[in-house]
Amino acid sequence: LKTYLDCVPCFLRQALDVTRQVCGGNEEVTERVLRRVLEATHSLRFELPPPYMGRRIHRIIRDETGLADPYAELKRGSTQTALRLSDTVEKRIGESTAPFRAAVRFAIAGNVMDYANACGWDQKQIDACFDEALDRPVDEKALSTLEESAKAASNILFIGDNAGETVFDRILIQHLPADTVTYAVKGSAVINDATREDANAAGIDRVARLIDNGNDAPGTILELCSQEFCDVFQSADLVIAKGQANIETLHSCDREVFFLTQVKCPVIARNLEANAGDWLVEHWKPDTAAEAPQ
């Protein structure tokens, strides 16, 4: 997906909110970040997906705050919150007549643990998401196709998104019958996206082979990813990608991908013919590109 004019004020809004959040409201640091982000917008290429700019913004924030992983503490908190919920989630999936589909729904519920599009979430939002997880409307046909594809696949790549959310990804992976599941995280810290450390804290290492994608952009910008990641991406029988940034970056890639996400922004929502707040099971196939929204 491309970057829209509407993304520009949103980039600046996020840069302000995020910097204040991670630097304790220091307005001098915040002003330096804002000025550098404004400068960066000059060379903004609208034909590229928004995560290109997201990457630049979060590099500026890390540089100006001097924090290599500004969300480290918040990410640890997210994982703790998710782990506390995990027994209940596993119990509800176990009691479900369609455990795989239930596990997919809880993995989408976990996508609420996001600091990219707002200043985070609170316990109330989490509870609401998980309470309604089994009742939220999603594309049942795409969910059926995903279930069939998962049964047929012996080699699955699961691309993660946020720390904390990883706990529910781990639970979903336990319902994937494939011989090999590879779980991909970011190469280094960006926003509250999961890194190796966060994935291990969620127990991913117990259920999947862990790799990182070799870079620090939100989503998956293939041209920035390591050769190792790209090889796994191309050779997997099935790719499942979590989170909106993965739709932004992979929604025109040359292979089939299943996206699982909550839709967080009205611009992306419009592009996907959805509404902000919707839960998506989105089946991307390159040969349907002509009909699919771009």
Q: Which amino acid is at 264?
A: K
C-beta of 31 vs 132, nearer to its own copies:
31
Q: How far apart are CA 55 and CA 190, in angstroms?
A: 7
Distance, CA of 224 to CA of 195 (rounded, Å): 16
Q: Is 124 in the site for its own copies (CB under 8 A)?
A: no
- Contact call for residue 13 and its own copies (CB under 8 A): yes
- Name the token pair of 215: 């870079």
How far is 72 from 56, CA to CA, in rounded Å?
19
Which residue number, 10 or 292, has a Cβ lying nearer to its own copies? 10
Strand partners, 283: 258
| Least Cβ distance, residue 30 to its own copies (angstroms) | 6
| Contact range with its own copies by CB under 8 A, out of 10-18, 110-118, 190-198, 285-293 | 10-18
> Among the candidate windows 23-31, 165-173, 198-206, 258-266, which touches its own copies by CB under 8 A?
23-31
Q: Which of 200, 203, 153 is nearest to 181 (CA)?
A: 153
Whole-angstrom Cα distance, residue 101 to residue 256? 20
Minimum Å gap between C-beta 69 and its own copies is 24
Q: Which residues pair with 281 in a beta bridge?
A: 260
Does position 254 interact with its own copies (CB under 8 A)? The reply is no
132 near its own copies (CB under 8 A) = no
CB of 76 to its own copies, least distance (A): 29
Instruction: For the CB of residue 36, give the shortest distance to its own copies in the complex, in Å.
Output: 12
If the CB atoms of residues 9 and 137 are measured against its own copies, the closer one turns out to be: 9
Residues 34-53, mask of contacts with its own copies (x by CB under 8 A): x---xx-xx---x-------
Contact 115, 18 (CB under 8 A): yes
Query: Is residue 66 part of the contact set for its own copies (CB under 8 A)?
Result: no
Q: How far is CA 137 from the centre of its chain?
A: 20
Task: At 117, list the tokens.
Answer: 């599009």
Distance CA(216)–CA(270), nearest Å, equals 27
According to CB under 8 A, which one of 3, 30, 192, 246 is a site residue for its own copies? 30
Start-to-end CA distance of the chain, whole Å, equals 6
Binding region for its own copies (CB under 8 A): 5-6, 8-10, 12-13, 16, 27, 30-31, 34, 38-39, 41-42, 46
